[in-house]
Amino acid sequence: MQKKNKVRIYLDYAATTPVDPAVLRAMRPYFGVHFGNAGSVHSFGQIASAALDRSRERIAAVLGAEFREVIFTGSATEANNLVLRGAVKRFRELFPERTPELVVSSIEHESVLETCRDLERDGARVRYVPVTREGVVDMRALKAALGPGTVLVSVMYANNEIGTVQPVAEIAERVRAMRGERAYPLFHTDAVQAFQYLPSDARALGADFMTISAHKIYGPKGIGVLYARQVYDSRLSRAGGVTKINVKRVPHVSPQITGGGQEFGLRSGTENVPLVVGAAEAVARAVAGREREAARVRVLRDGFWKKLRAAWPGVRLNGGVASRLPNNLNVWFPGRRAEELLIHLDRRGIAVSSGAACSARSLEPSYVIQALGFSRERARESVRFTLGRQTTTMELDKTAKVLNEIKKAK
């Protein structure tokens, strides 16, 4: 049991982040004074609706999106499900005689991989593209996986476990070249880990869909953001001897949650205005300080890696060095189980992880590290350190010192 005055060091920012005080201040009025339902016509509802619109506009400006292309969901996991399931459902509505095919990388987040497996059980085809030892998608394998039946390609912007940054703009370009003048294939990127540190203009990147999670960027839990590109559908109609061109905006996905038709019909349910406001504030603050914070944590991360190698000779890095998020280290400790190290560190007040937060409690070895071509044993002996806004040099020095003491104690 930890002593009350023990210094606590948090190095698990890829799992979640503390809510920024400014985000809390922005949200607070909408839990109390401005508690109205955004769908109500009276003044309480109008205030909530205005806040919803302002938040959508703020995020749209950051993403290079149109107002109607920003969709709020209950989480990034829900947003990923909406894209994958919604794209397949829409394709089947348009082409009921054809079998939908998905192409995803082998190291996607479980919300993508498990959804793909479920869709496979429902008759869809899924092609899983391998990655290199550095965790980068094999571009030749990706090209070979694309075919005339491909509905959607999903490759995450940056990996949540090893921090590898994918060449998403290049992947999007290949998908567009395959698409030509047709509607498919579409391209989705999960930018949950990348958003804090990397450019996020969805249109510039060439994404048709992009997923963001507020709680990974110092915003509240329980709110996800989906950029969903819409297209114009032009159809001729004739009435009273007059031919008209009917132009309407249509999404590339069909809704998975139906009801009152909120979020432009893509995600029904009363809008969670406080969390939406918090998400917009978190997005704005992440972008405003992005380059400065990325540079700061990169210096800290590189210094920590040097000290860690001195404290524990023989450790190895999982994933590449050059194309990696600036706050991420995923380290192999040969001969020492990750759960053992996690327990020792936690007893000393240091929080790290052995993989994705959503599956860490199962203590299963990381499928991401195994997808790099490494053994289950190496996966069981790997620990993830992720830095954030509150991380200091003193904390990292302390962590390296504690690890050295753990090594000597065995």
Report the relative pairing of strands 150-154 and 101-105 from DSSP bridges: parallel
358 flagged as catalytic: yes
Beta carbons of 77 and 84 less than 8 angstroms apart:
no
Given the residues 7, 310, 358, 363, select the one marked as catalytic. Answer: 358
Q: For residue 198, how many other CB atoms are within 10 A of its CB?
A: 17
User: If residue 178 lies in a helix (H) or strand (E), which one and from where to where?
Assistant: helix 168-179
Q: 3-state SS of 365-385? A: CCHHHHHCCCCHHHHHCEEEE
Which residues make Cβ contacts (< 8 Å) with residue 233, sequence separation at least 6? Answer: 247, 248, 249, 250
Tokens of residue 340, six digits: 């053992």
Q: Coil, helix or strand for 10?
A: strand
Beta carbons of 213 and 192 less than 8 angstroms apart:
yes
Residue whose token pair is 């000290």: 307
Q: Coil, helix or strand for 116?
A: helix
Alpha-carbon distance of 317 to 274, in angstroms, equals 40
Question: In angstroms, how far is CA 146 from the centroid of its own chain?
Answer: 23
Bridge partners for 150 per DSSP: 101
Active site residues: 358
